[in-house]
Every structure is written in structure tokens, then in C-alpha cells.
Amino acid sequence: MAFGDAGSIRYNLKTGTFNFIQNGHEVFMDIYAVATVNADTLTTKSYEIRQYNKIAIADGFGKGIKHTIVLTAAGKPIMKQVFYTYTGRNYFLTEICFTGAPLKTNYMMPLIGHFKPITGNDVRSLFVPFDNDTFISYNSKPFTTTAGTSAEVGTVYANDNRNGIIAGSVEHEVWKTGVETQSNATVGQLKVWAGYTEEAVTRDKIQHGFISGNTVRSPKIFVGSFSDWRSGMEEYSKANRIAEPPFVFNWSKSTPVGWNSWGVIQEHINFDKTIKVANFFADSIPAFRTRNTAYIDLDSYWDMMVSHGDYSKLKELADYCKSKGLEPGVYWAPFTDWGHGGGPDRIADGGNYKYGDMWTKTGSGYHDLDGARALDPTHPGTKARIAFVVAKLKACGFTMIKIDFLGHGAIEANHFYDRKVTTGMQAYKAGMEYLTQQLGSQMLIYAAISPSMASGRYVHMRRIACDAFKSIDNTQYTLNSVSYGWWQTYLYNYIDADHVVFNDEKIGANRARLLSALVTGTWISGDDLSKTGQWTERIKQYYQNKDLLKLVKYGKAFRPVEGNTGTGASEMFTKQVGKTFYLAVFNYSKNEKAYALNYQRLGLVATKIIALKEVLQDNEIGLNNNIDLKLNAEDAALYKFTLK
């Protein structure tokens, strides 16, 4: 079964296993599939009869072939192992399904087997988190005999030459998927299964929910081998957007820039402070816009401006922002009850439903995380509350909403109100589709804490990590997620680094925090702009820099140069836009640091460079055969190469 430029799958109908060949070399060997159906363990190796058929297909991936291995045996449900191959794609997709009498499963493993050792030095496996809660980090770990599990997608690669293999789910409406990799003496071992839960990663305290019916199916799994694992991860991200196209309306406006209140003001937000922020934008940084647009976004505690259900003060605030040429934004967490300590009999907004009836039941109790209790996304009370609050916010005229703690809507439960919904991801789909429908096309929809892969259908913009503020440590934490999750820039319209706070930090830390946003793709300030401080003049300078404003308008993340930093971050990120090549360099350490870089590693051709400038300090730099740089402690620089 051929695919792409030089890929093929060789399936052995006698054994129920397959090998994956790329450029004439075996990559995966002896791969088979296994599932637990009606408490029976069924594998492609244990069936007696295997038949092959194929049909031509045309879908979002292009023109291709659907290859099906039909496996039958007495007393067992029919098993199908399906492969999707495309001439224009250097990867393939695979899934398994079973048909028969009523079937039930919460464990389906489309891939288990071996892969050839990755050629190169400093071989790594990558832990990808399920979400961005609890300040979790990506982790590029040395590839060893210790098994490592990653959420939704896994990769093993050599950092020096960047060769790598990638496998992961491209469908997230039913299943949570785990990818386990480990090394032994001669080969690597791989497992990809649907039905993954782990409290520290997926936040679930009980096993994955079951699916049932006359047909049960796994998610489609992406499999590929790439000469540059970074390109492979970008292809994986794009494949997700094809497999599950956006449910949310298409965003055709400019890259979001603006301000969010949680950076410094936090719970002290009020009407007067927000008015002063809007005035600062209008009077002091009028150039800080993309297509003449900037957002003034109220975070948590805006409800302190609501009195006895009267939202008129919020509408007045939104109207004032618009009068200044600004777009008003707001915040909400649709699947959480923050007041659960007040008891189960409280009545939720939008109806006569009690919060206690809306709580998600897990094990012998409820799901509490981050101080909030999860609400069942399928419950009519949850829906009524969503419809009520969203209608109020839309009536105020808000044109942006930051939605938070969405992972609470994806938790596995004992049962859901809608009994047709039996898994956490099915509940998340139901809740997010309902929320998105209520929001309509009035607002830019931004996700904060949320499942990384499953949220791509429902929002335009997603924060890449957890909260980040002003320090160099915050910058490094954010850039860990950019170093190993930058590829999500192709799953969302935009990914975001959270609010940029200058506050009382040194100028170097300010530059690093600012640049961490630009390499992520968007630019949201978090300083208290209702008053004057050392940050005020710095913001006036940097937020109206023409080079930076030109860069952010493209809205896509930079690529990391290195991928061997564990739970730390790459020090260098690159991006090319037309005839301009950008290099961002960060020094997270407390000491001055020298960098000797070569053009080839960066992806530059020396003979094509005609000019070099450091943007943040506006310095022209002479050219030589290599790039020798020095950065002060806790500082950052942005180099702009002009190419022929």
C-alpha cells in the first residue's frame, strides 16, 4: 500500500501484522492491533481469515485509497483494520473497528509493535500534555528503556539530525489517546491506544468511558517518519484540522493584539480602571493595532460590576471601548462551579436547576480541580446557564471572550445526564458545540486552560501554556510549551503566550517576556495601564515598534532550533516570512552568555543574507561567516535577516 513520495505499508495476510517502509528502509516492524471488546482481548494476529479490499476516496486529505483488512473467526465479531493512504501525504492514517452483536469497549489499540532505532545522536522522546493546566510542562526526555507515555501524540527523534517518527490521534470527539514509547537493546517499542486516562495528565480519577453498539471504532491514528521531526509535527497538526474541521465560524480578521486584566490588576478590576486602560490605548499607544484593532479584555471578577443581574455597567464599558476604536472582551468558565462550597441547593442562572444536580459525578464523589467543581456539559441546567450568561454578554456588545477551565468539561464520569454520551470527550464535544452555537459569530473565541488537541474545532485562539506573568522564569515556562507545542499554530488560527507583563522587572526580562509572545504568534499586554510606572514608557516604545507590529500581523509561531531541553525551553526560535528571516534568542540564565551559531543549523544560506539587524535595540550588525552573539543575563534579542 503505497503513499506519499516514497512510503509503503506491507501487510502480511498470514500473520495479521504489517511493516512500514520509507525510502526503501523499514521504519516500523511487526505492527498489529488489539482491543478489549465485551471483555475479550482480540488482536489482528488471533483471527483466522484475513481478506483485503480497497476503494478510491477523495476527502479533505486529497485523493487516496482506503485499504481494508477484514478479519473473521468463529465466535468473534468482525474486525476491520483500515489504512488511508494519499499520494500527496508523506504519512498514513489507520484505525480499527468491530461489528457484530452489541459490543462494548473502552480500550482499542490500533498500533502496537516495534520501530527501528532512530539514526543520530541525542535521541529523545517527547511527553506532550493533554492540556495546559496545573503548570504542566512538555518534556523532551532521553529515549531509554523506561517507558514514557504522551497524550494524543508521541514522537521519538534525534536532536542532532532531527530524524524522527510520529504517531498520534487526529480524532478527539470520542476518545482520549495515549502513546507509549520505550527502547530496548535493538529496537524501539510503540503502543498507541484509545481509552487512555491518567490523573496527572488527563485529570481523570476513574477509567475511560465505554462506547457500545453494533459497531465500535477507534480514532484515526496518524503515522509518519520524517527527516525533520519538526516538519512532521507540523504535518500532524495540520492533519488534525483536516480530520476535524472547525465547528467555530471562520476567523478572517486580523491577528489579535490588546490587553487582559489578569496580568496585574486581577481581582481588583473595576469600571474606572478599565476606562483608564482604554484611554491609555487610545492616547498613548495608538499605533498598537492590527488592521486598526486592539482588544480590551476583562478577565475574572468582572461580575463585581454586575449588581442584582444588572449588566448595564458592563454595556457602558463595552460601548466606551468601541467609542475609542477598541474592541471589548470578557471572560467566563462555562463548565465550572466556583461556589460549590455553598452547597448543592443553590439555583444556577438561567433556570430553576440546582447546582448539585449539574455536578459531574466521578467515582464516589465529584470532580474538583483548581478550586472549581466540574459541571456536566450535557445537563439542561448547564446549557441553560450557558445560554443565559452568553446572551447577557452578547447584549453588552462584547466582541471577544476568553473561556477558561474547559478541561472540566472533558472529565470521565460515572454517567452523564444525556445517557447517549458515555465518554468525557463526547461530553466535551456536546458542551463545546452548544457553547459555540450560543456565541454565534459575534466574538473572537479564545481558550485558556483547555484540552490541547480537542479544542481546535471550537475556538480561534488558544493559550499555549498556563498563566504567565513577568519574570524570566515565567518566560521560560511559556517557551517550554512553544518549544515543543509550537506546531499547534496550524491547528488554531492563533496560539497565545498569555498576558505580557513588564511591571517592575529589569529591561532584559521585559524584552524576553515581550518576545515570548511574538514567537508564539500574538501579543496581549497584562500591565496595569490604569496608572503610571516604569512599564509605561517601555510600553510606549516597544508597543509601537514598526518591525514588531509587522511581525505579529502574520500571527504564526516560530520554530524551535533545539529539542533537547527536557522541561526547559529552547534558547532559539526561527521564522521566515518572504525575504525576511527572524531569529529570536533568549538567555534564561543569571549570567551573560555567548552564542556561536552556524547558518546551516538555523536553516539559513549565508550567501543569501544581505543585511542583519537586532530589532529590540535597533542595532545594525555586520555580517560574517557565522553568528557570534552575546546576551546579558535574563535578556532576549530578535535578529532580522534580510535575504536576497
24 pLDDT tier (thresholds 50, 70, 90): very high
β-pairing, 372-374 vs 336-337, is: antiparallel
CA dihedral 486, 492, 494, 496 (to 10 degrees): -60
Task: Work out the mean pLDDT of the chain and round it to a whole number.
Answer: 97
Beta carbons within 8 Å of 9's beta carbon, 6+ residues apart? 1, 3, 18, 19, 20, 21, 67, 83, 85, 92
Q: Are strands 257-260 and 295-297 parallel, antiparallel or unpaired?
A: parallel
CA of residue 348 relative to chain centroid, distance: 31
CA distance 97 to 580: 48
Whole-model pTM above 0.85? yes
pLDDT beyond 80 at 218 = yes
In which band, very low, low, confident or very high, does the pLDDT at 186 lie, cut at 50, 70 and 90?
confident
What percent of the chain shows pLDDT beyond 70?
100
Q: How far is it, in rounded angstroms, from Cα 246 to Cα 222?
A: 19
Cell of 246: 472547525
- Please give the helix or strand (H or E) that residue 78 lies within, else none: strand 78-86
pLDDT digits (tens, 9 = 90+) for 274-314: 999 999 999 999 999 999 999 999 999 999 999 999 999 99
Interval 61-120: pLDDT, tens: 999 999 999 999 999 999 999 999 999 999 999 999 999 989 999 999 999 999 999 999
Closest CA to 153 of 194, 117, 121: 194
Q: Which three cell numbers stand for residue 421?
A: 454520551
Task: With CA atoms as reference, report the closest residue to 212 among 72, 360, 412, 420.
Answer: 420
Q: Given this model, what pLDDT does residue 597 score?
A: 84
273 phi, psi to nearest 5 deg: -65, -40
Residue 614: per-residue pLDDT: 94
Cell of 604: 539559513
Interatomic CA distance for residues 643 and 612, integer angstroms: 9
CA dihedral sign of residues 493, 497, 501, 507: negative
Confidence of residue 451 (pLDDT cuts 50, 70, 90): very high
Q: Which helix (H) or strand (E) holds 552?
A: helix 546-552
- One-letter amino acid of 429: K
Chain segment 219-277, per-residue pLDDT in tens:
999 999 999 999 999 999 999 999 999 999 999 999 999 999 999 999 999 999 999 99
| Dist. CA 511–CA 508, nearest whole Å | 5
CA nearest 397: which of 308, 329, 305? Answer: 329
Instruction: Tell me how far apart the alpha carbons of residues 527 and 545 are, in angstroms, rounded to a whole number.
Output: 18
In the numeric block, which cell numbers belong to residue 428? Answer: 466535551
CB 105 within 8 A of CB 128: no
Which of the 8 DSSP states describes residue 299? Answer: -
Q: Which residues contact 530 (CB under 8 A, 6 or more apart)?
A: 265, 272, 273, 274, 276, 277, 280
Q: Quick one: angle between helices 472-485 and 507-520, nearest 10?
A: 20
Contact present, 181 and 118 (Cβ < 8 Å): no
Which amino acid does the sequence have at 362? Answer: T
Residue length of the chain: 644
Whole-angstrom distance, CA of residue 21 vs CA of residue 2: 9
Q: Positive or negative CA dihedral for 401, 405, 410, 415?
A: negative
pLDDT tens-place string over residues 189-209:
999 999 999 999 999 999 999
Cell numbers of 406, please?
A: 474547559
| CA–CA gap between residue 188 and residue 185 (Å, rounded) | 8
307 vs 305: CA distance, rounded Å: 6
Q: How far is Cα 299 from Cα 401, in angstroms, rounded to an integer?
A: 9
What the block records as the C-alpha cell of 275 is: 476606562
Mean pLDDT on 476-504: 98
Asked if 449 and 404 count as a contact pair (C-beta separation under 8 A), the reply is yes
pLDDT (tens digit per residue) in 574-591: 999 999 999 999 999 999
C-alpha–C-alpha distance, residues 105 and 209, integer Å: 9
- Using the predicted structure, report yes or no on whether residue 185 has a pLDDT greater than 80: no
**pLDDT bracket for residue 625 (50, 70, 90):** low
CA 288 centroid distance within chain: 27
What domains are defined for the chain? 2-243 (2.70.98.60), 560-643 (2.60.40.1180)
- Three-state SS for 282? helix
Confidence at residue 209, expressed as pLDDT on a 0 to 100 scale: 98
Q: What is the Cα 231 distance to its own chain's centre?
A: 16
Which element (helix H / strand E) includes 234? helix 229-243
Strand partners, 619: 614
What is the side-by-side order of every strand in the sheet holding 336-337?
336-337, 372-374, 368-369
pLDDT at 626 over 80: no
Q: How far apart are CA 109 and CA 514, in angstroms?
A: 43
Question: Do 19 and 9 form a contact (C-beta atoms < 8 A)?
Answer: yes
Give the residue from 95, 239, 91, 226 showing the smallest Cα distance to 156. 226
Q: Residue 621: its pLDDT value, please? A: 86
Half-sphere exposure of residue 170: CA atoms within 13 angstroms, side-chain side: 29
pLDDT number for residue 385: 98
Give the least confident one: 78-87, 123-132, 622-631.
622-631
CA separation for the pair 348, 629 (Å, rounded): 58
Strands 188-194 and 177-183: antiparallel
SS3 179: strand
pLDDT digits (tens, 9 = 90+) for 537-565: 999 999 999 999 999 999 999 999 999 99
According to the model, what pLDDT value does residue 620 have?
87
Q: Is 538 helix (H, G, I), strand (E, B) or coil?
A: helix
Amino acid at 642: T
Task: Give 388-457 as a DSSP string.
Answer: HHHHHHHHHT--EEEE--GGGGG---S--SSTT--SHHHHHHHHHHHHHHHHTTSSEEEESS-BTTGGGG
Using an 8 Å Cβ cutoff, are 157 and 128 in contact?
A: no
